[in-house]
Structure 1
Amino acid sequence: MSEAGSHGRDTLGLATRVKAIAVADPVLDLERRKSLLASREWTGYQMEELALTAIDTVTLKMDFEDGARHEDIVAAMARVAGLQMPQRNRDAHTAVARWVLDSLLNVGTVDRDFSHDYGIVLHGSYTTQTFSFKLLREVPGPDGRPRLRASNEAIAVLVGAADLDIASEQVAADAKLEALVRRGRLTDAHRAAEMGLRRTVQYTEHVRSRLEGMRRDIRSVDWVRDVQSMQTEALEHIKDRINAENTIKDNLVRMMENSTEDTTPAQAAELIAILEECLRRHAPLQAKLQEVGERFRAEQERQSFVPPPSRSNVALERQLLIPSLQLSVRQAYPLLNTFATAATPPHRPGILYLPDLITGLMTPPNESDGDDGLVIEPEFGEAPDDSVFTDEQYKAVATLLQHADGTRLSDLLDTARRHGVSTGRDNLDHLLALHLLGLFGAPRHDPEHGTVLAALADDRELEDDRFAGHDLLVVHGPPADTRTTDNSLREGAA
């Protein structure tokens, strides 16, 4: 219900438009974020077009039961990226495509939701609400591997509207398509047909999500109010859509037969292919809706009417442990393996993501409120503090760095190894490498002489048997000169 503000504004209408803008914001934000990636040079790629390509491809490839594969979506975006930047290689196109896909999935966040705050007026007071949504989401596929599905909000980005009645929009899309075909404007009709196809996919996803709620918890839905009314309305809607699309298809066939222009049959054939895809998607949805009653009763039996299992618990010590200890390992292993397999219920493995794994590993465990007395505090003895490096080695490294200005790490390592062999210690190069890593992250300032000792990277690979990475350049000079050299090297690397 619309709430009016103090000046007669339709605040609910404002909220709807704010949510429509919020849905498009993650797509538009990709262009701004690409400039923040200092390690990548992606100027020239149009990130919004790649994002819409990903959403469009997922929308057209997913069906009622399954979603789209990651590699298919990345390949589709890489093809578009190749058209945008033909001078770049395929690896660059694939890297851009994977980054866009991870951004649309919001990888790196806990719940992977995008959120935006908006306000509504309730009972005369302004209240702030949070609108949470997903564009693409990952679900387990039939083979246990992750699949991609596009949300209603993502499809709304494609068709240019959000928070609207999907069935009414689909009716309007078919009516627009029929009018354009009747007037012979096949070029405009092609775009309308594509929008109608996306509305078909969006309506299928809308019905599937409602049926998924019934499968999760039968108590959350009412048969007469929720399920039966939705089934009747959806079946009637699909019937009308099938009739309307068949009528448009027949008109296109007659247009192809009677046209004298060369381009008309080709354009009409493309429109017929899109309409056939719509009809193909209506068929399984109609079959699923006709099975709703049977599925509802089956879920009732599974969730409500199945009695608890009447079986006695296994006495692990008396029935398992003691008999197993009386057997040899070769005899006991098959029996224990069979018991573990039967006692562990089957489960579908979860989709593991490296950012989520790192977040879980870095989360500190909950502190226990009580002490059961089983934790024994270990007693540690005094261990000698043996230094890995000697004072002579520290002095040798300081001497090497004191005279190093414009010298590379590879040359310093060779000098350190020759000096280490003469002193009988072969790890002087390790100490030198550690010092240079410290100088790379935090240059050392000498206030007495007013100089700075720093290690800079200029994208030259280190050729060494023990170490890998950049061949750092040691610079010893005034602070201003060091910063200038750093900036010039970074600009040269970019």
Structure 2
Amino acid sequence: MLIRRGRLADAQLAAEQARYRTVQYAETLRRTLEATRRNVRAVDWLNTVPDMIAEALEHVADRYRHENAILTNIRKARDEAEDQEHKRRAAELVDIVKDCIRRHTQLQSRLLEAGPLFRAEQDRQAFAAPTAYTGLDLYGQLLAPVLPLPAEQATRVTDAFFAHGTGLRTPASVRIGDLVDLLLTPPVERQHLGAEMPEPDLIATPDDSRFSEEQLASAMELLDLEHDAPRRLSGLLAEARLRDPDLPYLVALLAVHAASPPVGTAYRQGEERLLFAVDDGTPLDDHEFGGADLIVGTALLDAVGMAADRTEAS
């Protein structure tokens, strides 16, 4: 149809695209057959390869019909053309179509040979004898014959064996010739402080604390007990509930934390007082909390003695 309309350029482009597709099929088939010759199990001859062969054969049959029709029409157009340029382009298209048909024929023959090659390689690889690797018997072939020999003769044998059996030996010293490129390379200019550090883009994290600073101050005031007047957790919770409905949760949290007081931290920081909590087995009678009714109190620390101990340790 393109030839009849005089669109030789479009007809040439269609033929070249078909030829390129044929080359792609041929290359794919070549790689597949090479892989089959190496290891037939590495190629999917159950689905992938048969589908590719069927697709390629369909492509070849379709292009045979089209390009034989193109060849007939283009020869007629070439012979009937009066314009020399048109005649020349038609002649070029004839050569391209002939080359396409030749490549289609080659691809078809290779596609038809693929099945027999697969079956032959399958038989060869399935029934081939396993490769035998000859090993070295160090005792029977080296040690036993060498032991009766004099030291001079045995040394020649062992030197020859280890020279060939232990691989390459790293040279003891570096040759100047190996360092020529490194010595002749000019030094790289470097800044004294290095590259400029990028300015980090910091994003302020939102304050997601459940308790406010005022609530924390109120709880600490409530737990600021005299060293000789400890209190029950139940009483502290009741008093905290009168100040703020959420304050008992913070007081309970601080009291539980005081059950394992950070004595070492207080010692290093030289603190004079330390909040503690002790469980004497009394259950907590509270409508919001359960567990033990802890005894919460404040212990006095010997700040002077701790400071002296730190000085002696340093």
TM-score interval, smaller chain: 0.3 to 0.5
Q: TM-score, normalised by structure 1?
A: 0.28
Query: Of the two structures, which has the highest relative contact order with CA contacts closer than 8 Å and spacing of 6 or more?
Result: 2
More strand by share: 1
The structure that has the greater radius of gyration is: 2
